[in-house]
Chain A
């Protein structure tokens, strides 16, 4: 990362851009109602997903799909299990 770059993490995907472009993208995302976390010292911004968008999806009762790895790094998606009832459990070692 050089002095001129800025990292935009858009819903989890990081991309290095020109510093001026990066700050502009962060501002545009904010103006469109997205939550944005910025660190000017670290020259990085995280563009999240709005409460409206997440809420609309959840209220429609469609289970949001996701793809996550197992311990061996193999990806699994919720949608792989369509046709079965799924008991989804989130837990943590903490």
Chain B
């Protein structure tokens, strides 16, 4: 089954997308980035395969359901969908625990410091303290510059267009320094 989680500033920010998609699976909203903290997610989309026993069968990966953004992301949908289908049918795609662990990225201390700064910022934002909140969001981004769940995901909370010049500048600086924006698992 599919469990989708919108990591967004509010239910209303996610609502139009969910209502347009009319999913038959549970479609949840995570305004406090709970899932990012628990699973060390640093961008969207992030997918995880979880088996019948509640164990991680394949760790955080980047996958798209369609090729709509392939010209930007360079990531082909079919490959992941094929592997996912095989795993669901019991027809392959099973990794050993050691293989799964080798593919995991565990959080660093500064990642978790960044998430604490995010958490304080998000709380201050809920209290109607946007200037104070912004200080902590910025600090969080400095602590974890690869964490776009924080750096880009907080833009709408700060009144910044997440598709606009601020994002494009951030992305350009990041990629010019030799870092990938998406980090899919190796083949």
**Residues of chain A whose beta carbon lies under 8 Å from any beta carbon of chain B:** 7, 9, 12, 14, 34-39, 41-42, 44-51, 54-55, 58-59, 61-66, 68-71, 73, 76, 78-79, 81-94
Residues A94 and B152 in contact, CB atoms below 8 Å apart: yes
> Counting CB contacts under 8 A, is B76 at the interface?
no
Measured between alpha carbons, how far is A69 from B117 in the docked complex, in Å? 23
Residues A51 and B39 in contact, CB atoms below 8 Å apart: no
| Chain B residues whose C-beta falls within 8 Å of the C-beta of A45 in the assembled complex | 120
Measured between alpha carbons, how far is A49 from B155 in the docked complex, in Å? 24
> A59-B101, A61-B101, A69-B11 in contact; A85/B51 too (CB < 8 A)?
yes
C-beta contact mask, B117-138 vs A, less than 8 Å → 1, else 0? 1011101100001001001100
Residues of B in contact, count (CB < 8 Å)? 79
User: How far does the Cβ of A32 sit from chain B's closest Cβ, in whole Å?
Assistant: 13
Main SS of the interface on chain A? mixed
For this complex, 25 residue pairs linking A to B, each with C-beta atoms less than 8 Å apart, are A35-B116, A37-B117, A37-B119, A37-B139, A46-B123, A48-B116, A49-B115, A51-B107, A51-B111, A58-B56, A63-B48, A63-B54, A68-B29, A68-B34, A85-B50, A85-B57, A86-B49, A88-B47, A89-B2, A89-B5, A89-B45, A90-B4, A90-B41, A90-B45, A91-B44
Residues B44 and A71 in contact, CB atoms below 8 Å apart: no
> Counting CB contacts under 8 A, is B156 at the interface?
yes
Measured between alpha carbons, how far is A8 from B3 in the docked complex, in Å? 31
Measured between alpha carbons, how far is A68 from B39 in the docked complex, in Å? 14
| Chain A residues whose C-beta falls within 8 Å of the C-beta of B121 in the assembled complex | 37
| Chain A residues whose C-beta falls within 8 Å of the C-beta of B11 in the assembled complex | 69, 71, 73
> Counting CB contacts under 8 A, is B187 at the interface?
no
| Chain A residues whose C-beta falls within 8 Å of the C-beta of B145 in the assembled complex | none
Given contacts A12-B119, A49-B37, A82-B54, list 10 more A-B pairs with CB under 8 A: A37-B139, A42-B124, A42-B129, A76-B28, A79-B54, A81-B1, A83-B52, A85-B88, A87-B50, A90-B39
